[in-house]
Structures are given as structure tokens and as C-alpha cells.
């Protein structure tokens, strides 16, 4: 029996969910609410338009609004949902009043953490998210000479590189001793730092934000190490779950603040599902809850949540989190966790590391690839991986996340067959060499 699903959120999770509802049964009704002017654009492309790698913002739109109409997905743009009632199965919608649902998918996503310092209300603070705002900000960037990026998060990394490509004097401040310190190991980030320096980026680590300075509009940033000039500042703080409504409605949240969901992406309330950056998912190795993963995760979770909301049955599995991104002139990536996280969580590990190459040593465009594999002592089961290199990092990250999930060991990877063809791969695949080094380090060679 078809029913009506309301999806709150028009991001990757929300649109994945809307598609999932229709996939379960095309006769289902589905209504999507978003505060934004658009759905189906790729926010992930915004930093690259700012960096001029992509020519226009228009290129980021994935589908015409018409396409959703044709697919039977009713999207309400620039429309705020102001309350959720899970007992009466309704929501309150600004300008629409009370709207009822049979099933609800919460896909309200994330907001950047409030920097919580004086001056946070000034103009000139750029929270990179909405594409229409990004178009306006691009004109600001055109006129700017100097900018501060607050925090070396994944978005911070992309924006630093983009602004440097744009010829702006770019300052990066971060409280940790190296960039992306909560995810990535220092030896993975060292080449990235070096390539930023070559691009003229000014790096300020071990440096906390104390205030935005200016009257009306930001003109500088006060840090624990002194003052920096700024025509504007990119606030790339942590992604926090956007869960005000859900919490008011009494839905359970976990230690991260993300909504607790089961493997069907069902929340603690009957017929209510959640997906994307507003939810919390278990890490496949540690079981620890994680929130604020990636757009790719949000989309996949949305599809499962929507499919189940629509009357189907699918499960979403614990995450092993392959990740990857350009940073400076390098590509960094990995799966699960690296040494820094393992140490912080007190997880023992055997390390296998190797410095290899991406193509034959003599083939133009060859790049260094550093691979680090973490394995459980004894069994040598792979539990984490990090890399810095060029081509093939994304595919290796996908592979290694799968290898962790399926319990492959360093011994397995040490004898892995690999393609050797001068233009595309070296005789010795760096993953294999890293695994061999790990096996030797564990005294099992």
C-alpha cells in the first residue's frame, strides 16, 4: 500500500531518500522540504569553482528542477520546517501550516560549528555551503587581497588551495600541530604543507582563533599568535549535526549529537528515519559512533532510509570510510583511521609503510605514493590505511576500505597481484610493498 513520505532536507541524503521512496514503490507520494533555492547541485564542486579549476557555478547543477517534477518528487524550495511531531505524524511548515506524513525522513544535514568568539556576527565571514551565496562570494574573492581560513578541516584544505590558486594571500590557522590533525597523520600531511608553502600559503599551526576584528565588516582575525589581516574569512569549522528540530521532537541522539539509527536507518521514533550528516553511524572496526561523514555516505544512507520509508527493506552497514581529496599539489586519502587516531584511541597496531611510485620511474608524470597500513597485532588483519600521492589514491582508498571490511591481512596484501604498465602503474604496487614491510615489522616475514 503506497503511503506519503515527507523528507526534511534537500541535500545528498534528502535526495537519495526521495529516490529511495520511489524505488520502493513508484506509487508512493514523496515531498521534500529545503531551505535552499535549489536541490541537485553539487556543493562539493564549490571550492573548485572558487579555485578556477571549474569554469562556472552553473556547471554544478546536476538536474533541472523539471527532472524532479517528472520523477514525481515534489520539492518545496526555500521552505523551512519549524517543528516535527512524531506522535501525531505531522510537521509544521513555514507558510504551509501543518502537514501530515505516514513516514518521515530527517535529512537536515550539518552546519559549521559556531566559532564562538567575539566578532562572529560581522559581515565577511564565509560559511561555504549554499551555491547562490557562493556565487556572491566569488565576487568578494575577486576583489580580495588577503584572506584567513579558519581551521584545516577537509573544507579548509580545499579552500586554502583554491584561494592560493586565485592569487590571494591566504592564511590558514588551526589549533593543532599539522593540518587535518584529527584524521590524518603528520607524515601524510608534510608534503601537502610543503606544496602550500610553494603556493605562497601562510600556515599558522598551534594557533587558536580568538576574535574576528572589525566594525560591521571583518578586517582582521585575532589569533593566539597575534593579529592577521583579512578582507574576508572562511569559517571551515567542524560539521555539527543540524538536529534542533529532531531533538525537540524527542528523537534520541548519540555522543556526537547525531541521531541514533539502526541498520535500517530508523530512528528511535516509529516510522521516522534519518540519513546523512544529521545521523550517527558505527565505525566498522571500533564500533564508535561517527557523524559528519561524506556526501557519498549521505547519499547512500538516504537511499536506504528512503527505500525503507517507502515500504521496502534494505540495510546500511557499519562504515569503513574511504576518503580522499586533493590538497595542495597532492592527493591524500585513506580508510578507517591512521596512526594518530589509533594512538588517541589506544588501539594497538602493526605498521607497514612504503614510499612507492605511481607509474614506471621513467614515465612522465610519475609521482611519489606513500602508503601506510595499520594492522591488528597477531592476526595482521588490516584496520586502517593512509596515503599521499597522485593518481589512483581514490581507487586505493575504496579498495582498502573494502579490504578492512572483509578481514584481509597484511599477508594477503603482501602477495597481491598487481598491474604493471609503465604509463599507469609501477612494477611494485605501493600497497604490496607496505604490506610486505608490515609483515616484516611484525616478525613474520
Ligand X SMILES: Cc1cc2nc3c(=O)[nH]c(=O)nc-3n(C[C@H](O)[C@H](O)[C@H](O)COP(=O)(O)OP(=O)(O)OC[C@H]3O[C@@H](n4cnc5c(N)ncnc54)[C@H](O)[C@@H]3O)c2cc1C
Q: Which of 5, 6, 7, 11 binds ligand X (CB under 6 A)?
A: 11
By the rule CB under 6 A, 81 interacts with ligand X: yes
User: Per-residue string for binding with ligand X, 166-195, x by CB under 6 A?
Assistant: ------------------------------
Site for a copy of itself contains 427 (CB under 8 A): yes
Binding to a copy of itself (CB under 8 A) within 124-183 occurs at none
Out of 50, 89, 103, 297, the only residue in the binding site for a copy of itself (CB under 8 A) is: 297
395 contact choice in a copy of itself, ligand X, none (CB below 5 to 8 Å, kind-dependent)? a copy of itself
Q: Is 208 exposed, middle or buried (0-12, 13-18, 19+ CB in 10 A)?
A: middle
Q: Which does 317 bind (CB under 5 to 8 A by kind): ligand X, a copy of itself, none?
A: a copy of itself
| 129, interface contact from a copy of itself, ligand X, none, CB < 5-8 Å by kind | ligand X
**225 vs 421 by CB, closer to ligand X:** 421
Q: What is the x/- site pattern for ligand X, positions 88-127, by CB under 6 A?
A: -------------------xxxx-----------------
252 binds, among a copy of itself, ligand X, none (CB under 5 to 8 A by kind): none
**Closest CB to a copy of itself among residues 346, 364:** 364
Q: Are strands 323-327 and 330-336 parallel, antiparallel or unpaired?
A: antiparallel
The 363-402 contact track toward a copy of itself, x by CB under 8 A, reads: xx--------------------------xxxxxxxxx-xx
362 binds a copy of itself (CB under 8 A): yes
* Length of the chain measured in residues: 445
420 sits near ligand X (criterion: CB under 6 A):
yes
Closest by CA position to 370, among listed 184, 201, 179, 154 = 184
d(CA 379, CA 104): 44
| Residues within window 270-289 making contact with ligand X, judged by CB under 6 A | 276-277
User: For a copy of itself, how many residues bind (rule: CB under 8 A)?
Assistant: 62
Chain residues that interact with a copy of itself, rule: CB under 8 A: 12, 42, 44-45, 48, 53-54, 59-60, 62, 294-297, 299-300, 316-317, 319-326, 331, 333, 360-364, 391-399, 401-403, 406, 408, 412, 415-425, 427, 429, 431
Chain residues that interact with ligand X, rule: CB under 6 A: 8-14, 33-36, 43-44, 46-47, 80-81, 107-110, 128-129, 155, 242, 245, 276-277, 294-296, 298, 420-422
Amino acid at each position: 500500500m503506497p503511503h506519503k513520505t515527507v523528507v526534511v532536507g534537500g541535500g545528498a541524503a534528502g535526495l537519495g531518500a526521495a529516490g529511495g521512496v520511489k524505488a520502493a514503490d513508484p506509487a508512493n507520494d514523496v515531498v521534500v522540504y529545503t531551505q535552499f533555492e535549489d536541490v541537485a547541485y553539487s556543493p562539493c564542486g564549490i571550492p573548485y569553482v572558487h579555485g578556477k579549476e571549474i569554469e562556472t557555478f552553473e556547471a554544478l547543477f546536476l538536474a533541472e528542477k523539471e527532472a524532479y517534477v517528472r520523477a514525481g518528487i515534489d520539492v518545496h524550495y526555500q521552505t523551512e520546517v519549524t517543528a516535527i511531531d512524531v506522535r501525531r505524524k505531522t510537521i509544521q511548515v513555514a507558510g504551509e501550516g501543518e502537514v501530515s506524513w505516514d513516514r518521515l525522513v530527517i535529512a537536515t544535514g550539518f552546519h559549521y560549528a559556531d566559532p564562538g568568539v567575539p566578532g562572529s556576527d560581522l559581515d565577511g565571514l564565509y560559511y561555504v555551503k549554499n551555491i547562490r551565496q557562493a556565487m556572491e562570494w566569488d565576487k568578494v574573492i575577486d576583489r580580495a587581497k588577503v584572506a584567513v581560513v579558519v581551521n584545516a578541516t577537509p573544507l579548509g584544505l580545499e579552500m586554502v588551495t583554491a584561494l592560493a590558486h586565485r592569487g590571494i594571500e591566504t592564511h590558514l590557522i588551526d589549533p593543532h600541530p599539522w593540518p587535518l590533525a584529527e584524521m590524518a597523520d603528520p607524515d601524510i600531511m608534510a608534503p601537502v604543507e610543503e606544496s602550500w608553502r610553494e603556493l605562497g600559503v601562510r600556515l599558522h599551526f598551534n594557533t587558536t582563533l580568538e576574535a574576528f576584528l572589525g566594525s560591521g565588516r571583518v578586517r582582521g582575525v585575532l589569533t593566539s599568535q597575534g593579529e592577521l589581516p583579512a578582507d574576508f574569512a572562511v569559517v571551515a569549522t567542524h560539521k555539527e549535526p543540524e538536529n534542533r528540530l529532531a531533538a525537540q521532537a524527542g528523537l534520541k541522539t548519540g555522543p556526537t549529537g547525531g541521531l541514533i539509527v539502526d541498520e535500517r536507518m530508523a530512528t528511535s521514533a516509529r516510522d521516522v528515519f534519518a540519513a546523512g550528516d544529521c545521523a550517527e553511524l558505527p565505525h566498522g572496526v571500533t564500533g564508535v559512533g561517527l557523524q559528519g561523514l561524506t556526501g557519498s555516505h549521505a547519499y547512500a544512507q538516504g537511499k536506504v532510509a528512503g527505500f525503507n520509508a517507502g515500504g521496502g527493506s534494505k540495510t546500511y552497514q557499519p562504515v569503513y570510510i574511504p576518503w580522499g581529496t586533493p590538497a595542495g599539489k597532492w592527493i591524500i586519502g585513506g580508510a578507517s583511521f591512521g596512526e594518530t587516531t589509533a594512538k588517541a584511541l589506544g588501539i594497538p597496531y602493526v605498521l607497514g609503510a612504503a614510499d612507492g611510485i605511481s607509474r614506471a620511474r621513467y614515465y612522465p608524470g610519475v609521482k611519489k605514493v606513500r602508503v601506510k597500513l595499520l594492522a591488528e597485532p597477531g592476526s595482521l588483519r588490516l584496520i586502517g590505511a593512509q596515503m599521499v600521492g597522485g593518481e589512483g589514491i581514490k581507487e586505493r582508498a575504496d579498495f582498502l576500505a573494502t579490504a578492512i571490511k572483509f578481514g584481509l591481512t597484511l599477508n594477503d596484501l603482501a602477495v597481491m597481484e598487481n598491474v604493471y604498465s609503465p604509463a599507469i602503474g609501477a612494477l611494485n604496487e605501493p600497497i604490496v610493498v607496505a604490506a610486505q614491510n608490515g609483515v616484516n615489522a611484525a616478525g613474520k616475514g
